[in-house]
Structure 1
Amino acid sequence: MKPARILFVCLGNICRSPLAEGVLRELAARRGLASVITVDSAGTGAWHIGDPPDLRSIEVARRHGIDISALRGRKVGKPDFEAFDLILGMDGENVRTLRQLAPTGFEGRIGLFLRYASGRDQDVPDPYYDGPEAFERLYQMLEAGCSSLLERLDERAS
């Protein structure tokens, strides 16, 4: 597989995107791809810069053997469009914001996570106002999507 630099983006960078970052990093490590997959996460908003992920995201990740507690929220910026090969928004609103921020010529690096990963034109719902069961559903959705993403990246490199 050729190296890939992937940025996951959600609204605040405390629920969906840091969990996706942790899941993809773990799946890549399990498949022996940690040296060729670079992954990070960011938010389109600036409310949680420097904050750890939501405790519910940390907890669901921990239950699945993934530690995301050291991650810190940050806002997506113009340098990200050059630094990453693929910038995946968790929902349509994230993708629209990313397209507005993207310098000319970088729009092709932006996509909706589930559409790119598995061909499903579906948002990853924000679980922020929901309970623990929504975070478990989020984890399952991200794990399936990240597995598909790794397969797609591997096929693309072949």
Structure 2
Amino acid sequence: MKKILFVCYGNICRSPAAEGIFNHLVANSDQLILAAADSAGTHDFHVGKHPDVRSVKAAARMGINLTDLRASQVCAQDFHDYDWLVAMDQHNIECLREIGPQSQWHKILPMADFHPNPNYQFVPDPFRGDRDDFDLMFESMWTMVGRMLELLAEQPVAEIEYV
């Protein structure tokens, strides 16, 4: 079983969206994909709270339920418990490098690496936006998570190398 941890700033918008989409697509795939996802934030502002209501509603419009999720914060142990720590933007990558041991930094991947557009650099944070921003985030996240699952179906996580 491959374990993926999606990481954003507060764990109430982007990372729970990725977690929900990932687990939904795995559960509904016609392929056997032995993988599961969780999510966490680099900061503790929302620990224990539900995802942002706008994320919950955007997910529901796509048939995904996020209401059982609760925000948590990344810790050093996560670098041992997960195969990948997938960061939504460069700030999240920098924070992860402060949290985890350098010997485990190879597990940190930018979410944007899974976008089909090579010029896509980060997942915009919709927190200060409106419904359209959340819907757009979910649509692009669906694409990136789908590509991630294609890669996982093709080869084991340990064989996929990123720089």
How would you bin the TM-score normalised by the shorter chain?
A: over 0.9
Matched, 1:155 2:141: no
C-alpha contact (below 8 Å) 2:114/2:145 kept by paired residues: no
**Closer, same or farther: CA 110–54 of 1 in aligned 2, 3 Å:** same
Letter matched to residue 125 of structure 1: P
Picking from 113, 125, 132, the partner of 1:115 is 113
RMSD over equivalenced CA pairs, Å: 1.7
- Which SS does the other structure have where 1:78 is aligned? coil
What does 1:97-136 align with in structure 2 at a 5 Å threshold? 97-116=95-114, 118=116, 120=118, 121-136=120-135
CA-CA distance at 1:116 after TM superposition: 4.5
| Counterpart residue type for residue 38 of structure 2 | D
| 2:124 is aligned with 1:138 | no
Matches within 5 A, 1:1-158: 3-32=1-30, 36-116=34-114, 118=116, 120=118, 121-157=120-156
Preserved CA contact (<8 Å) 1:117 1:149: no
> Closer, same or farther in 2 for the Cα pair 1:119/1:79, shift >3 Å?
farther
2:41·2:72 contact (CA, 8 Å) conserved in 1? Answer: yes
Contact 1:25 1:34 in 2 (8 A): no
Give the whole-Å Cα distance in 1 for the aligned partners of 2:31 and 2:19.
14
- Alpha-carbon distance, 1:156 to partner: 2.1
Q: Gapped runs of 5+ residues in structure 2?
A: none
Structure 1: unaligned runs, 5 residues or longer: none
Q: Is the CA contact 1:118–1:149 (under 8 Å) kept in the aligned structure 2?
A: no
Structure 1 runs of 4+ aligned residues shifted over 2 Å read 32-35, 116-121
Q: Give the total of aligned pairs.
A: 156
Alpha-carbon shift at residue 41 of structure 1 (Å):
0.1
**Separation in 2 of the partners of 1:30 and 1:109?**
26
**SS of 2:58 mapped into structure 1:** helix
Q: How much has 1:96 moved relative to structure 2? A: 1.0
1:4 positional shift: 1.4
So what's the TM-score if we normalise by structure 1?
0.92
